[in-house]
Chains A and B, each alone.
Chain A
Amino acid sequence: MAEIDTRIDYYPTHECDGIKYRKGHVLPFGASIVSHGVNFSIYSAAATSCSLVLFKKNASLPFAEIPFPEHFMIGNVYSMIVFDLDTENLEYGYRMDGPFDPAAGHRFDKNNILSDPYAKAIGGREVWLEQPKPDKLYPFRSRLVFEDFDWEDDKPLQIPFEDLIIYEMHVRSFTKSPSSGVKHPGTFAGINEKIQYLLELGINCLELMPIFEFDEFEHSKKDPVTGELLVNYWGYSTLNFFSPKSGYAAMGKYGMQVDELKTLIKQLHKHGIEIMLDVVFNHTAEGDHRGPSISFKGIDNKTYYMLTPEGYYFNFSGTGNTLNCNHPVVRSMVRDCLRYWVSEYHIDGFRFDLAAILGRAQDGSPLNNPPLLESLAHDPILAKCKLIAEAWDAGGLYQVGTFPAYGRWAEWNGMYRDTIRKFLKGDAGVVADFSERIQGSPEMYSKRGANAGINFISCHDGFTLYDMVSYNQKHNEANGENNMDGNNENDSWNCGFEGETDDIFINTLRQKQIKNAMTMLMVSQGVPMILMGDEMGRTQHGNNNTYCHDNELNWLDWNLIETNAGLYNFIKHIINFRRCHPVLRNKEHFRGSDYMNTGYTDISLHGTKPWQADLSGAGRVFAFMLDGSYAKNGNLSDDTVYVAMNMYWEALSFELPRLPHDKYWHISVNTDMPAPFDFHQLSHEPCIENQQSFLVGPRSIIILIGKEK
């Protein structure tokens, strides 16, 4: 300590109103705690002057405002060390002066106090939906955090991509309902209390919907019918890219949200569960020219946003503005942000919202070789973390299968969802496509391997699985947009009645269809993702776009585990089935050949007759067999797995492929059977009497295991 104390670069040279300061270090950007002081550094390409504004926590007026002297500036960076600050109780911001000339891209306003784009915590929304006291002067305040968390030997888990089972979750929705029984509902701590549940379910990766600080009050409005407050619930609208959402932490009101989130991550890792963040780098919470000036807009509008030649905001995100992510400066910020989350929070991977935007040039045109995507793919700090793109945007760019991958990027396979849904509801003519999806979409990812695609049938956007089998149409009236919002193409089928019904036949079929869907997902090559609650039949009552509801439409009802016990048990089983059968988890695509001389190809396709798959025309059946010798591309040994899917509305007899003489077919799963007879415990599968054929029920799937008796 003493040595640092005497270093000349930590010695004050200036004083203003009793506050001591000196020229600072330009790097790192943001505010960093240094010996006896705080180093502040911020850049702006077009500001004419800048001052640092300091507040005591929650004080309405600043206690100091220090203009950066001209010689404190290097390039476009202002930096300063201020000494003897109470770092626990400090809030800071910047006031920037410069031209207000929207046509030229500039929107400076020296009346505003602006939040630091590199702030590590933001004050103003400490407690979820707690009405903030009016603060026109500086509503979203930059704060300091302490990087002193005791990680012990924790680090990102680096589970092989093909072994992941991702569970997409909204932090608040998971435990907000009183039925969750947790002590701190709707928080990071609440998830921590439910780790045993996640282990029991069998998932090994949590993907959290946005947790960067956002304003839940943004665009909030009263529902015209019910009077209920509709809010920015999902949070796809970032205020600051380095700060966790304080309102998601029970300790947020005490400024300990960082500790609470890190504790969750450390505990998840301890239990073998990775954590991924859904990150929104395509736009910010500042909206278009009518939106507020919170940070980026007032600091360097022209740098941070894609602007039309007239100075308005391009809107490829569908939310008002578009982050100028292939500007070199913004690119660096995105990279710094991801590096920060990996190194300081031990995050295992990222899912990039509307990632096609990240491949657009500053004028909005798609780039062949987008520098941002390339630099993230090759970044040394991000080298082992998972990068997943939502490979489309609201501007019409659809890159599923063609997203610039650089050998690193995976993507949400939207084609997987669409094909599976069509096949599941019995559409004819999709067997050929379906066959590709089951195999990890090799026709789309021929060079990228099976891990390139994240397979999912449901996600936060669109119907839950239960609603997908209960509604033909979306029912989004509660969103207050006259049912105009949300996707119209859902490929859903209500099984004979729109919505809730007492009809036993329909309800049984719905449960079976959910089991079928989850079975398809779990026997597909590629990386499966489950939507929170689908394992217990969560419903949004037909609403396929619940972005604005802080209520039971989103909150997981834990009583459903009891209500749908049969379904829940089945889904636990089918997840476990995948985890115990490495033959389902290949990194490389099948070759369709017998390259290990087992007498069988790694995969073989069948129909109701063995070796005769009908991929054309009106078929609604598909069967396949995986030779266990080819598990993990021939590196592990597994049983042989045979799956027969009959999406026809009548039962069909499937002749079974012949096994080697010492092996017999054992039944593992039959979705046509009522619970608890729909599956058999692993390695306790009974041998079936008829080894030649199996009558597969209407709209049903069987899984057989080929092994010795």
Chain B
Amino acid sequence: MSFSVKTETFDNVAKLTLTGELDSSTAPQLMEEINKVIPQRPSELVMDFEQLDFMASAGLRVIIFAKQKLGTAAKLFMVKPQEQVLETLRMTGLIYSVTIVEHYPE
């Protein structure tokens, strides 16, 4: 499975751009990046999902981890999730605690 994640940080914002398929074989890569970002205590975590084609349970778990690890002090933005990813966020309830946007910054 092809997957890549690119991290940029600026002004208390951490932006992760995800590409490809996020499943149990690739989720550890995202986890590694998340673990690098969390100690910086960003006030906004932005995940660009536009190029993310698929997200399985393992990927969801990493995002839930990030959300709970950062706590309520940080806002989570998800940029342009594709239909399958959006549906997964919706059905698993994560959508209720993140902000879905077309662009970041809005």
Q: Which residues of A contact B24 (CB under 8 A)?
A: 86, 88-89
A86 to B56, alpha carbons, bound, how many Å? Answer: 14
Q: Which residues of B contact A262 (CB under 8 A)?
A: 93
Q: Is the CB of A255 within 8 A of B68?
A: no
| Contacts of A119-149 to chain B: CB distance below 8 A | 146, 148-149
Q: Is the CB of B91 within 8 A of A260?
A: yes
A251 to B93, alpha carbons, bound, how many Å? Answer: 12
A262 to B61, alpha carbons, bound, how many Å? Answer: 14
Proximity bits, B70-103, A CB within 8 Å = 1, else 0: 0000000000000000001001111011000000
A168 contacts B by Cβ under 8 Å: no
A267 to B90, alpha carbons, bound, how many Å? Answer: 12
Tally of A-B Cβ pairs under 8 angstroms = 55
Q: Which residues of A contact B56 (CB under 8 A)?
A: 88, 254-255
Proximity bits, B16-60, A CB within 8 Å = 1, else 0: 000000001001000000000000000000000000000011101
Choose from B61, B88, B97 the contact partner of A148 (Cβ within 8 Å): B61
| Closest-CB distance, A275 to chain B (whole angstroms) | 14
B65 contacts A by Cβ under 8 Å: yes
| Contacts of A416-431 to chain B: CB distance below 8 A | none
Q: Is the CB of A150 within 8 A of B94?
A: yes
Q: Specify the chain B residue showing the minimal Cβ separation from A145.
A: B57
| Contacts of A562-614 to chain B: CB distance below 8 A | none
Proximity bits, A76-117, B CB within 8 Å = 1, else 0: 000000000010110000000000000000000000000000
A146 to B59, alpha carbons, bound, how many Å? Answer: 12
What is the interface residue range for chain B against chain A?
10 to 19
Choose from A86, A89, A152, A260 the contact partner of B92 (Cβ within 8 Å): A260
| Closest-CB distance, A505 to chain B (whole angstroms) | 49
A146 to B92, alpha carbons, bound, how many Å? Answer: 13
Which of B56, B91, B92 gathers the greatest number of chain A CB atoms within 10 Å?
B91
| Closest-CB distance, B52 to chain A (whole angstroms) | 15
Q: Is the CB of B91 within 8 A of A259?
A: yes
Q: Is the CB of B61 within 8 A of A263?
A: no
Q: Which residues of B contact A250 (CB under 8 A)?
A: 91
Q: A250-B91, A251-B91 are in contact. Are A148 and B65 (CB under 8 A)?
A: yes
A277 to B77, alpha carbons, bound, how many Å? Answer: 35
Choose from A146, A251, A266 the contact partner of B61 (Cβ within 8 Å): A146
Q: A88-B57, A152-B97, A256-B57 are in contact. Are A263 and B91 (CB under 8 A)?
A: yes
| Contacts of A204-256 to chain B: CB distance below 8 A | 250-251, 254-256
Q: Which residues of B contact A256 (CB under 8 A)?
A: 57, 60, 88, 91-92
Q: Which residues of A contact B64 (CB under 8 A)?
A: 148-150
Q: A88-B56, A88-B58, A89-B24 are in contact. Are A148 and B92 (CB under 8 A)?
A: no
A189 contacts B by Cβ under 8 Å: yes
| Closest-CB distance, A690 to chain B (whole angstroms) | 55
Q: Specify the chain A residue showing the minimal Cβ separation from B84.
A: A254
| Closest-CB distance, A268 to chain B (whole angstroms) | 12
B15 contacts A by Cβ under 8 Å: no
Q: Specify the chain B residue showing the minimal Cβ separation from A249.
A: B91
Choose from B57, B68, B94 the contact partner of A254 (Cβ within 8 Å): B57
A254 to B23, alpha carbons, bound, how many Å? Answer: 11
Q: Is the CB of B65 within 8 A of A259?
A: no
Main secondary structure of the interface of B (DSSP, over half): helix
| Closest-CB distance, B24 to chain A (whole angstroms) | 4
Which of A150, A254, A256 gathers the greatest number of chain B CB atoms within 10 Å?
A150
Q: Is the CB of B92 within 8 A of A251?
A: yes
Q: A88-B56, A152-B97, A256-B57 are in contact. Are A263 and B65 (CB under 8 A)?
A: no
Which of B61, B67, B88, B92 gathers the greatest number of chain A CB atoms within 10 Å?
B92
A150 to B56, alpha carbons, bound, how many Å? Answer: 17
A148 to B69, alpha carbons, bound, how many Å? Answer: 11
Q: Is the CB of A148 within 8 A of B93?
A: no
A184 to B88, alpha carbons, bound, how many Å? Answer: 13
A149 to B94, alpha carbons, bound, how many Å? Answer: 9
Q: Is the CB of B92 within 8 A of A255?
A: no
Q: A86-B24, A88-B24, A256-B88 are in contact. Are A149 and B60 (CB under 8 A)?
A: no
Q: Which residues of A contact B94 (CB under 8 A)?
A: 150
Q: Specify the chain B residue showing the minimal Cβ separation from A148.
A: B64
A152 to B96, alpha carbons, bound, how many Å? Answer: 11
Q: Which residues of B contact A260 (CB under 8 A)?
A: 91-93
Q: Specify the chain B residue showing the minimal Cβ separation from A255.
A: B57
Q: Which residues of A contact B27 (CB under 8 A)?
A: 88
| Closest-CB distance, B100 to chain A (whole angstroms) | 16
| Closest-CB distance, B75 to chain A (whole angstroms) | 14
Q: A88-B56, A150-B67 are in contact. Are A189 and B97 (CB under 8 A)?
A: no
| Closest-CB distance, A197 to chain B (whole angstroms) | 19
Q: Which residues of B contact A88 (CB under 8 A)?
A: 24, 27, 56-58, 61
Proximity bits, A31-75, B CB within 8 Å = 1, else 0: 000000000000000000000000000000000000000000000
Q: A88-B58, A150-B68 are in contact. Are A266 and B93 (CB under 8 A)?
A: yes
Choose from B67, B68, B93 the contact partner of A263 (Cβ within 8 Å): B93
A88 to B58, alpha carbons, bound, how many Å? Answer: 6
A96 to B97, alpha carbons, bound, how many Å? Answer: 45
| Closest-CB distance, A345 to chain B (whole angstroms) | 13
A698 to B99, alpha carbons, bound, how many Å? Answer: 58
A88 to B94, alpha carbons, bound, how many Å? Answer: 19
Q: Specify the chain B residue showing the minimal Cβ separation from A260.
A: B91
A260 to B65, alpha carbons, bound, how many Å? Answer: 17
| Closest-CB distance, A122 to chain B (whole angstroms) | 16
A149 to B63, alpha carbons, bound, how many Å? Answer: 11
Q: Which residues of B contact A254 (CB under 8 A)?
A: 56-57, 88
Q: Is the CB of A148 within 8 A of B58?
A: no
Proximity bits, A252-295, B CB within 8 Å = 1, else 0: 00111001101100110000000000000000000000000000
A189 to B24, alpha carbons, bound, how many Å? Answer: 24
Q: Specify the chain B residue showing the minimal Cβ separation from A151.
A: B93
A266 to B65, alpha carbons, bound, how many Å? Answer: 18
Q: A86-B24, A263-B91 are in contact. Are A150 and B58 (CB under 8 A)?
A: no
Ranked 3 nearest A-B pairs via Cβ: A263-B93, A259-B92, A88-B24
Known: A256-B60, A259-B92. 10 other contacts (CB 8 A): A88-B58, A88-B61, A148-B68, A149-B64, A150-B93, A184-B91, A250-B91, A251-B91, A256-B88, A267-B93
Residues of B within 8 A of A (CB): 24, 27, 56-58, 60-61, 64-65, 67-68, 88, 91-94, 96-97
> What are 20 A-B interface contacts by the 8 Å CB criterion?
A88-B57, A148-B65, A148-B68, A149-B93, A150-B67, A150-B94, A184-B91, A189-B91, A251-B88, A251-B92, A254-B56, A254-B57, A256-B57, A256-B91, A256-B92, A259-B57, A259-B60, A260-B93, A262-B93, A263-B96
